[in-house]
Amino acid sequence: MSEGSKGSSLAFGQVVIGPPGSGKTTYCHGMQEFMGRLGRKVTVVNLDPANETMPYQCSVDVAELITLPDVMDSLKLGPNGGLIYCMEYLEANFDWLQDKLAAFRGHYYLFDCPGQVELYTHHDALKNIFAQLVKWNFRLAAVHLVDSHYCTDPGKFISVLCTSLSTMLHVELPHVNVLSKMDLIEQYGKLAFNLDYYTEVLDLSYLVDHLASDPFFRNYRRLNEKLVEVIEDYSLVSFVPLNVQDKQSMRQVMQAVDKANGYSFGDQEHRNLEALMSAAVGADFHFTSTLAVQERYVQSQDKAVEEEVMDL
């Protein structure tokens, strides 16, 4: 089969990436169910050779080709080196993946990827796999999940911003950054600023000033200022808040991704004008989504204060 004939028709999908514990597998499960109820035929592809428990219906599993435990045992590698080897092996055997995906033509693809950050910021194997899929007419968007609890620590949030920016520049796909587990954010402490400050990545000088109040970070103010300058100079990073349990939140993320990979304007699904406009006006639904999450967050904080007053 020639390279041109392998991708004769368009295929849309998401590559779900992010650090360990950010909720990638849970997201794939939730998005598979959510899109399925909308009438989309969704195929979930597990590209994580260390993923042993999958709550979703998995149509293609890289474990059929290679698994991390086998690599670690046979080559005496650690988990990080083993994952890199697995991705290089998948890249070298890309025809296996192509043949598996060919059985689901006309479907919407969700690629559940490994959680090793180096794979998205330094190493080229996954990047090359994504690029090959794009050459074969896959219209993909990278969905980068970040645990929302990092917002409660200014130092960690700057680190998240740097990682997100590095990932966007390295992966080279249309990109949607997502703050996951928003329903749990209040468990990690009170935010220093309103939620939209973090989702829209507003004036980061306030974050540097807030860090300077900490005796430890005061010595690194100049470093933090330079890191913030890099992030603001590129002006690429922003976030969509997500609570997988909330249908409205899932809809907002889905619309952002549809806009990024072009699915809203494809010919696989007949959309009415209202749905088309809601996907096209990105700032409006993003702002509405942030407001809804912010309102719930503020209400939970107010309730906690009331309970403290009652106890007194």
Contact 82, 71 (CB under 8 A): yes
Verify that 77 and 152 share a domain, yes or no: yes
**Whether residue 301 has pLDDT greater than 80:** no
Verify that 101 and 144 share a domain, yes or no: yes
**Whether residue 99 has pLDDT greater than 50:** yes
Q: Look at residue 289 and tell me if it is in a domain.
A: no
How crowded is the C-beta side of 238, counted as CA atoms within 13 Å? 16
Verify that 21 and 45 share a domain, yes or no: yes
Secondary structure of residue 38 in the 3-state scheme? coil
Verify that 48 and 187 share a domain, yes or no: yes
**pLDDT (0 to 100) of residue 21:** 87
Q: Look at residue 284 and tell me if it is in a domain.
A: no
> pLDDT-derived band of residue 300, with 50, 70 and 90 as boundaries?
low
**pLDDT (0 to 100) of residue 89:** 96
% residues pLDDT > 70 (the chain)? 82
| Tokens, residue 34 | 């959510």
Q: Look at residue 307 and tell me if it is in a domain.
A: no
**Whether residue 138 has pLDDT greater than 80:** yes
Contact 91, 129 (CB under 8 A): yes
Q: Look at residue 270 and tell me if it is in a domain.
A: no
Four-residue CA torsion sign, 168, 173, 175, 177:
negative
In terms of phi and psi (left: phi > 0; alpha: psi -120 to 50; beta: otherwise), the region of 167 is alpha
Verify that 50 and 134 share a domain, yes or no: yes
Q: Look at residue 309 and tell me if it is in a domain.
A: no
Verify that 73 and 209 share a domain, yes or no: no
Q: Look at residue 37 and tell me if it is in a domain.
A: yes
Verify that 207 and 241 share a domain, yes or no: no
Read out DSSP for 78-112? -HHHHHHHHHHHHHHTHHHHHHHHHTTTTPEEEEE
| Tokens, residue 89 | 């092996």
Residue range(s) defining the domain that contains residue 91: 11-192+237-264
Q: Look at residue 1 and tell me if it is in a domain.
A: no
Verify that 110 and 55 share a domain, yes or no: yes
Q: Look at residue 244 and tell me if it is in a domain.
A: yes
Verify that 76 and 184 share a domain, yes or no: yes
Verify that 38 and 62 share a domain, yes or no: yes
- Please give the angle made by the CA atoms of 132, 101 and 253, to the nearest 5 degrees: 80
In the chain, the amino acid numbered 134 is V
Verify that 71 and 162 share a domain, yes or no: yes
CATH number, domain of 137, equals 3.40.50.300
Domain count, the chain: 2
Verify that 129 and 210 share a domain, yes or no: no
How confident is the model over 38-76, as pLDDT tens digits?
A: 878 999 999 999 988 888 889 999 999 999 999 999 999
